[in-house]
Chain A
Amino acid sequence: GESVGLHLPTLSVQEGDNSIINCAYSNSASDYFIWYKQESGKGPQFIIDIRSNMDKRQGQRVTVLLNKTVKHLSLQIAATQPGDSAVYFCAENPTGNTPLVFGKGTRLSVIA
């Protein structure tokens, strides 16, 4: 079964607010995690990644936090914009040469 899951299937936020999307994973051996954004009718697009030897990584308006103790991953989007509306997936790399495992996704809707 899936080893990656999400707490919230949908999230609505006001434009300009911060968004937090959560993800739980079950494989403690996973050493690499990625967040993808998927807009309607398109393929998943890489947003940000983090390795297991880190607990935080920042990009442009996005931050990923990793809590290995509770096997939890989150994506924070600052000053959410209408263009951020999409489905967001977390994915984990269980071990070395194995394909990424994806969670079910969270739909983010930005209210103008």
Chain B
Amino acid sequence: NAGVMQNPRHLVRRRGQEARLRCSPMKGHSHVYWYRQLPEEGLKFMVYLQKENIIDESGMPKERFSAEFPKEGPSILRIQQVVRGDSAAYFCASSRDSQNYGYTFGSGTRLTVV
């Protein structure tokens, strides 16, 4: 019974490249949330998705960032033309329903932009 799976665990990108972060929710969970965490800081909400739908993207920058959760396959957080300020840990969480009870987090992807 795997939990939330994120890959890669570590990702290094040069400035200007694209970063793709993947998240497979827990079995039976159809709601996915992406959060960003800077060192020594809390988790900042980015985007909330259900299958094939973006429910809330209020925390995601309008430019360069996009997210999807297709009918088949993992949720993808995509960052285009990365800059040093994008370096952070990106966590994905999933839940069974929309009432936010019992988020389960993945181990995160640590993005380093050089």
Contact = CB atoms under 8 A, between A and B. Distances in A.
Contacts of A103: 42
A interface, over-half SS = loop
Contacts of A43: 4, 6, 91, 105-108
Contacts of A61: none
Contacts, number: 59
A101 B45 contact: yes
Contacts of B99: 93, 96-97
A60 interface: no
B65 interface: no
A32 B56 contact: no
Interface residues of B, number: 26
Nearest to A100: B100
B45 A45 contact: no
B106 to A, nearest CB: 5
B16 to A, nearest CB: 28
A25 interface: no
A93 B103 CA distance: 11
A44 B48 contact: no
Contacts of B106: 43
B81 interface: no
Q: Output the residue of A2, A36, A42, A97 with the most chain B CB within 10 A.
A: A97
A41 B33 CA distance: 19
B30 interface: no
Contacts of B35: 102
B91 A105 contact: no
A89 B107 CA distance: 16
9 contacts: A41-B107, A43-B106, A44-B93, A46-B104, A93-B101, A99-B33, A102-B43, A103-B42, A105-B42
Interface of B: 4, 6, 33, 35, 41-45, 48, 55-56, 59, 91, 93, 98-108
